[in-house]
Structure 1
Amino acid sequence: MARRALLTSGARPGADGAGSVPEQLLDAGFHGLARLRHARAFHPRGLWLAGELTPVPGSLLPVAEGSRPVTARLSKGAGVPGGGPDVLGLGLHVGPGGGLGGPWDLALSSSGIGTATRCLPLPATGWGRARYGSLLPYRVGRRLVWLLAVPHGEPLAPASLGLLEQRVRDRPWRLALLAGPGSGRWRPVAALVLHTVLPVSEAGRVSFDPVLNRPPEWTPAPGWLTRARESAYRGSRRGRRAPERG
């Protein structure tokens, strides 16, 4: 019960070094991998982009109507070089304001869209071919809600960060943000436009943490997996010793 209260309040579980043995092992494992790479344990290199998120009228997102600036990071999970297939990541940082009391981070990965496959990270061959899902749901009131970002336009393949950078420099990349229950239809909740390539120095050292940086009424579920996920994020953060290189 105490740990659940920590998650709800926004405090960092295990910040004092406590935690279950599996959580400590995850922390240590991700710490070691990040230290070895001098980067994130997974999704080690990425492309930083600026853009806007615009909720659709009547959206269930806890964001006021109108466009909100976002910082995005597109990355490859295992760091496969060039255009090789990989689990593709889309991190979104929505700053406070516009209905949000604090920042909201979304960590989305290429996944399936079906009832069974939406929880599975799946390799994709191109940025425009992937479907970027939250993998785990949020508990919103009495409902479980998954989020999914779907690109518009051309397939945009292969999965090369250089190709994606050139594409965004040429013209904006547009995606639709959808929400769905455990089973049933996905419904659009916002439009996402990414239009500006950012240097790492300008993006800062944004460290996406969807467990801590979220609206209080949107609780990641289930609790045990959320705690494991936060242990992994914490270990990866501690292990990064070198300056951010993407």
Structure 2
Amino acid sequence: MNYIDTALRAPFALASPLRQVRVFHAHGAVTQGHAELGSHWWPVQGRIPVTARLSRGLGLPSALPDVLGLAVRLHFAAGPWDLLLVTAPSVTRMALWPARGWSSARYSSLTAFRTTENGALTWVLAKPDAGQPRTGSLTALSDCDPLDFTLSLATARSDATPAGRLSLGPPTENDDNQPAFDPVLNHPDQVVTWPQWLASARRAAYGGSRAGRHAAPA
């Protein structure tokens, strides 16, 4: 581990035990479901089982806007792919943006991906279907079955193109045994996160957070 990784890892390793939870997106609701991946951009197409977690980034009261998160683990036969999506403004895919509720959330991977077959920078987006709660309350999610989303892909030169569906079952508020999502460690061999320097920073931060709260490996 180099000095930069150590410097990035340390704050998260210290903050996590103080809070006894993640530094950000500390509280969430975990659920199971499946994705229907329809674009050839995905390493695997068809119906894929998923584990997902919906969360509030800053943990503000549910009546206030917050940066909402949608973490999705695609269970491929070759290994998991963790996608971390957060709410972002519609005019850009690379900035955090608070949402008033689950129904108005528009999610983005923020960082882009490159594949070995298609070198174009590609962002993964998700938009909730109608019927999700207008508030950002985690409790309100338990009344929604299923939680459906449209998955889209966008490049720097193109608008979002539908690329699949995500359907999640009723979540639970108790996520004490939640999986440790890590998009830097868990991804297909043919998919690379861009920019690389940010991937290195995220690797150190996630590792520090897991170590600080004694979480299981990702």
Structure with greater proportional helix content: 1
SS in 2 for 1:148: strand
Deviation at 1:242, TM superposition (A): 8.1
| 1:156 corresponds to which of 121, 126, 133 | 133
Amino acid at match of 2:69: G
Provide, for residues 120-168 of structure 1, a one-character-per-residue CA deviation record: whole Å limited to 9, x for no partner. 01111011101110000011232111000111114621111111222x2
Taking the aligned partners of 2:169 and 2:215, their CA distance within structure 1 comes to: 28
The residue number in structure 1 matching 2:165 is 191
Aligned counterparts of 2:174 and 2:180: Cα–Cα separation in 1: 12
- Contact 1:118/1:135 (<8 A) preserved: yes
- In 2: Cα distance, 1:242 partner to 1:38 partner: 10
- Residue in 2 that maps onto 1:211: 184
**What residue in structure 1 maps to residue 66 of structure 2?**
86
- Say yes or no: does 1:20 pair with 2:15: no
CA contact (8 A) 1:180 1:186 kept: yes
The equivalent residue for 1:9 is none
Structure 2 residue matching 1:109: 3-state secondary structure? strand
Counterparts of residues 91-170 of structure 1 (less than 5 Å): 91-97=71-77, 101-114=78-91, 117-141=92-116, 142-154=119-131, 156-166=133-143, 168=144
* Residue-by-residue CA offset, 1:20-43 (whole Å, 9 max, x unaligned): 33x322211111111111111110
Q: Which amino acid aligns with 1:63?
A: V
- Structure 1 gap segments, 5+ residues each: 1-17
Aligned residues: 214
1:178 correspondence with 2:152: yes
Segments of 5+ residues of structure 2 without an aligned counterpart are: none
Equivalent in the alignment of 2:210 = 237
The answer to whether the 8 Å contact 1:39/1:242 transfers is: no
- What TM-score comes out, normalization by structure 1 length? 0.81
Paired residues of 1:38 and 1:242 also in contact (CA < 8 A) = no
Match of 1:222 in 2: 195
What is the one-letter code of the residue matched to 2:122?
A: V
Tell me if the contact between 2:132 and 2:147 (Cα under 8 Å) persists in the aligned partners: no
Residue 48 of structure 2: aligned partner: 68
> How large is the RMSD of aligned CA atoms in angstroms?
1.9
Counterpart of 1:108, as a letter, is: L
Could you tell me how far apart the structure 2 residues matched to 1:146 and 1:136 are? Answer: 7
Task: Answer whether contact 2:142 2:172 (CA < 8 A) is retained.
Answer: no
Q: Conserved in 1, the CA contact under 8 Å of 2:44 and 2:76?
A: no
- TM-score normalized by the length of structure 2: 0.91
Which structure dedicates a bigger proportion of its chain to strand? 2
What is the alpha-carbon distance in structure 1 between the residues aligned to residue 3 and residue 215 of structure 2? 29
1:76 Cα deviation after fit: 0.6
State the partner residue of 1:54.
36
User: What amino acid is the match of 1:20?
Assistant: Y
Shift of 1:93: 0.9
